[in-house]
Amino acid sequence: MNRSFAFFVIMPGEHTFNSGSVLLQPVADLVGMSVDKINFVGCMALSIPLAIIYNRVLGKASERTRQVYPLVIGLAYCWFCFGSAIKHLLANCLISYAIMYVAPAKNMHWLVFIFSMSYLTWVHLFRWMYITEYTIDITGPIMVCVQKMTTLAFSLHDGTGRKEEELSPLQKREAIKRVPGLIPYLSYIFHFQSILTGPLSFYTDYINLTRGTHVTKNENGEVPDPYSEAWTKLGKALIFMLVIAFVQPSFPISGLDRTDMNPVAWMVLFWFTFMLQRIPYYFAWYFADGIYNLSGFGFNGYDKETGEAKWDLATNVLAWKVESAQSLKETLDAWNVGTMGWFRRVAFDRAPKKYRTLSTYLLSAWWHGIFMGYYLTFLGGAILTLGGKGFRRSLRWRFLSSPSLKFAYDVVTFIGTKMVLAYVAYPFVALHWAPSIAMYKRLYFIGHILALFCAAVLPVILPPPREDKKKNGETQVDENRNAKKIE
């Protein structure tokens, strides 16, 4: 009895982050990888046939069957990869569910938000205390589940605690009129398609999948097939996996400590090293997107020009757009799209207008963890975003008079964006205050200084056109409209 009780109340510790199965340890030893990564890749690979079964075999099964099947597999994945640490996932989601039931609709969403985020922070704290190098552990699934629970709570608040005329079109579409049953709720939280890596899907979309109402027929009365799109995404994930295996190990972050390189060569190394840091995310998100599509999830209407079905509802990253972006905003629009949608729903749209950007970046840092590197990255990101807006408003219109000037502007902003992205992401990877500040000192805090200059001084020296002032006041509205395209 005592041991059973201790299983549930024991504080997080090192065991929380290394209690997954060691069944595949011989495979890990054979390929020279840690067993947590082998478990992760093994579950993702197993998801391919399981997703096909869900769509092909269970496509016309009952709604309850289509809810229980992904739930059971998702729980099995969590137990296999994280062992007894699954108790933290269950505790967080079940207590949040109880809050949705008993709390007044007026305050329920904030209570769920505060509790779930506090529980996540508690686990992050112990991860900070015990983990010295990156591992695939329970914090990732908890982060995804916090997104799901909070968006569900906010949708419940919109559906039960607010008048319809107070809601935006997006909030009306996602509003929920009553607390879901326990099985649909757990299925949404734990379904195998996203429990390990995300991306976030929204409750109304997921329930439409389980009900078989997620796809509309085309003009010919045919149901579109997701498999071509799914296999394309999985093929891209395979390419990224090969890059991770054969290229990334040759360019560790520690290589940036070199002092024997000329500045230009070092800056190229700086850019390339951080481009490689994004590859594991590309692998995980393209793979997860492909699994979603194999399951039949992801339909997002038809292209107005071609009439082809779009399967990007669960798309979390557009790698080419990230790598070819000419501003930090363009980069963020194509990066971690599901999380950006979450930030919008629980922070940006809910905060006072003048605090929207700051509240979004602060939530991002809090959600990621308590390492100081996260706060340096996201607060720096807020400063650099403001600097980028000032730069664009003051300078871009001056280079539109000829193709050659426009080309020069595009080249400069492309290179600048790549360097800014590496600059602001360094603390995120370094995690700690000391190495992050040491790198910024080495670079003379050039990114922060230029961003502040572009935000505060450049518009005075080179004023933007008068009509831009009015447009700038409408920027947030335009961003909200554009955000709908990528949700």
Beta-ladder partners of 302: 309
Q: Which of 94, 111, 90, 100 is nearest to 179 (CA)?
A: 100
Dist CA 245 CA 238 (whole Å): 11
Dist CA 463 CA 458 (whole Å): 7
Respond yes or no: is residue 214 known to be catalytic: no
Check residue 201 and report its DSSP letter.
-
Handedness of CA 314, 319, 320, 325 (dihedral sign): positive
Respond yes or no: is residue 368 known to be catalytic: yes
* pLDDT value of position 175: 92
* pLDDT value of position 132: 63
Q: Which of 18, 336, 448, 482 is catalytic?
A: 336
Residue pair 46/105 in contact by the 8 Å Cβ criterion = no
Averaged over successive runs of 10 residues, the pLDDT of the chain (487 residues) comes to 43 66 92 90 96 95 97 97 93 97 94 97 86 78 97 95 90 93 97 94 94 90 93 97 93 92 95 96 96 96 91 96 93 94 92 87 91 92 92 94 94 96 95 94 96 96 75 44 34
Q: DSSP string spanning 279-329?
A: HHHHHHHHHHHHHHHHTT-----B-TTT-PBP--TT----HHHHHH-SSHH
* pLDDT value of position 4: 43
The runs of H, that is alpha helices, within 86-138 are: 86-102, 108-130
* pLDDT value of position 15: 58
Q: Which of 300, 368, 472, 480 is catalytic?
A: 368
Beta-ladder partners of 244: none
Residue pair 153/165 in contact by the 8 Å Cβ criterion = no
Look up the pTM and report it: 0.89
**109-114 long-range Cβ contacts below 8 angstroms, 24+ apart:** 109/150, 109/153, 109/154, 109/156, 109/157, 109/161, 112/149, 112/150, 112/153, 113/150, 113/153, 113/154, 113/346
* pLDDT value of position 97: 98
- State how far the alpha carbon of 176 is from the alpha carbons of 157, 159, 263, 310, in Å: 8, 5, 56, 25
Q: Which of 106, 209, 134, 55 is nearest to 371 (CA)?
A: 134
Cα of 341 vs its chain's centroid, Å: 9
Q: DSSP string spanning 19-76?
A: -S--TTHHHHHHHT--HHHHHHHHHHHHHHHHHHHHHHTSTTS-HHHHHHHHHHHHHH
